[in-house]
Amino acid sequence: MHERIIILDFGSQYTQLIARRVREAGVYSEIHPCTISVEEVAAMQPKGIILSGGPCSVYDEGAPQLDAAWLRLRRADGSPMPVLGICYGLQAMAHTLGGSVERAPRREFGRAALRVDDASDLFAGLPSGGTVWMSHGDHLTRLPEGYEVIAHTDNAPIAAVRARNAPHYGVQFHPEVVHTEYGRQILENFALRICGCSGDWTPASFVEEKIREIRAQVGDRHVILGLSGGVDSSVAAVLLHEAIGDQLTCIFVNNGLLRKGEWEQVQTTFRDHFHMRLQAVDATDRFLARLEGVVDPERKRVIIGHTFVEVFEEATEAITRELGHRPEFLAQGTLYPDVIESVSFKGPSATIKTHHNVGGLPEEMGLEVIEPFRELFKDEVRAIGRLLNVPEAIIGRHPFPGPGLAIRVIGPVTARALALLREADAIFIEELKAWDLYDEVWQAFAVLLPVQTVGVMGDERTYENVCALRAVTSVDGMTADWAHLPYDFLSHVSNRIVNEIRGINRTVYDISSKPPATIEWE
């Protein structure tokens, strides 16, 4: 088992970033809700524990507390367990140990300069005065017995603390966010210097470990996986296949809302190139019949979600007949950002929801879920995909929504509208690649509007649809800016679309950002 650091989640929006920073230091890290028992974590034999921030005050009713047992925990070798409390994590530690946590006169939010008072361990190699990111309502006003201050800011006399007789540390600021200048180094110091990890964790070791884990978990049983052709499910499929070969069957549903060539391409890649068992189901007619006349975007999503579940269940039954028994597992490419949808003061365990990547497969399917990437971020999954020789065309592909082109045909979804949209989208993407702009944007696509406008073609008047082009830059899809693509490029794409596609005589470029707009039009 690889060296690991366990992060206890107290509900902070930044918890996932802690995990990521620790992994960047070459140490595998996993997040667990703060309600997990001390014994369960001890059994994982971590090298250290990080307590995340959280939205609560330690005095809130029902606020998660830190059992003192966490601070008495020992490692497998008998040494005391290193603990780092971040923001609420520090307050919870201090509260448990009899320090004073008080409401600050006003919430401290933003940058502060960290004055390092002791640079011997947590802050080793850090200059004093680096920027740190503060975001808290409560703060520590009196240290617990046996603790000392190792850094302060102009506003906070206690910005970081250390126990004198145990490897326990706490910081009031957030080392995991990019605004904290030396944050990465602080977490690395904790992981390598204080916890003594070797920092040799890599995507390759992740793959090795997951393959071993999956084999042990699955034994001689069977796994199914909903393949969408996107990065996450594709890399998950290849990893699972590497682990258990033909004990995996992928299900790929054509909902009639895929992009141009996608239906063929996914089958070629997975069946012919990777030699996987693939159940490809063309349910185009069923989806389009159900979507007939539907205009409301949320209705579209619900219909597509339900129909997907139905088709997926039928495919599973077909696999059951073939195998002579029902598959036992469902694998999904769920990523960490999909797992945590929202946090609230009710406590993290109540609010961690599983996001159903493949359109909401119900729990009643009675399958055990395997989610090898639930701790990872997209770029980490991409690195793993490269390692597993997943084609670059899949790894670098822009995100594509589950409801597919249905939410890019504004108004009723018809076969004709889809055909027009597919062509326009293919031209846009082809040209982005030809102009080396594809990788510059987070997502780019065409949207077909239910609006007709007048145009002129030769001597003829036309009265055809408008196509909108959308391209955005973004880090995580949560916020986005419209991509400032070159005018020459846009002009070229517009000419091609209007000249080559009968049915579209005008293109417009969307220059709204998110917020207040969203990336998709529906």
Asked if residue 171 lies in contact with residue 186, where contact means CB atoms within 8 angstroms, the answer is: yes
Closest approach of ligand XMP to the CB of residue 233, in Å: 11
Instruction: Write out the E strands in 24-159.
Output: 28-33, 48-51, 83-86, 100-116, 130-142, 147-152
Complex with ligand XMP: residue 327 or 402, whichever CB lies closer:
402
Contact flag: residue 306 with ligand XMP (CB under 6 A): no
User: Does the annotation count 292 as an active-site position?
Assistant: no
Complex with ligand XMP: residue 384 or 519, whichever CB lies closer:
519
User: Does the annotation count 380 as an active-site position?
Assistant: no
User: Does the annotation count 174 as an active-site position?
Assistant: yes
**DSSP code, position 55:** S
Closest approach of ligand XMP to the CB of residue 149, in Å: 43
Contact flag: residue 137 with ligand XMP (CB under 6 A): no
Secondary structure of 365-410 as H, E, C letters: HCCEEECCCCCCCHHHHHHHHHHCCCCHHHHCCCCCCCCHHHHCEC
Complex with ligand XMP: residue 301 or 506, whichever CB lies closer:
301
Select the residue interacting with ligand XMP from 116, 312, 403, 420 (CB under 6 A).
403
Closest to 449 (Cα-Cα) out of 504, 416, 409: 409
Under rule CB under 6 A, how many of the chain's residues touch ligand XMP?
A: 11
Instruction: Write out the E strands in 81-129.
Output: 83-86, 100-116
Contact flag: residue 301 with ligand XMP (CB under 6 A): yes
Q: Are strands 160-163 and 147-152 parallel, antiparallel or unpaired?
A: antiparallel
Contact flag: residue 401 with ligand XMP (CB under 6 A): yes
Asked if residue 143 lies in contact with residue 149, where contact means CB atoms within 8 angstroms, the answer is: yes
CA 520 – CA 522 distance, rounded (Å): 5
Contact flag: residue 144 with ligand XMP (CB under 6 A): no
Stretch that binds ligand XMP, among 123-131, 326-334, 397-405, 409-417 (CB under 6 A): 397-405
Contact flag: residue 514 with ligand XMP (CB under 6 A): yes
Complex with ligand XMP: residue 155 or 518, whichever CB lies closer:
518
Residue 159 zone, left/alpha/beta (φ > 0; ψ -120 to 50; rest)? alpha
Contact flag: residue 402 with ligand XMP (CB under 6 A): yes
**DSSP code, position 103:** E
Q: Which amino acid is at 328?
A: E
Stretch that binds ligand XMP, among 39-47, 261-269, 317-325, 399-407 (CB under 6 A): 399-407
Contact flag: residue 227 with ligand XMP (CB under 6 A): no
Contact flag: residue 518 with ligand XMP (CB under 6 A): yes
Closest approach of ligand XMP to the CB of residue 447, in Å: 11
Q: Are strands 83-86 and 168-171 parallel, antiparallel or unpaired?
A: parallel
Select the residue interacting with ligand XMP from 396, 455, 477, 503 (CB under 6 A).
477
The residues that are catalytic are 87, 174, 176
List of residues contacting ligand XMP (CB under 6 A): 301, 399, 401-403, 443, 477, 514, 518-520
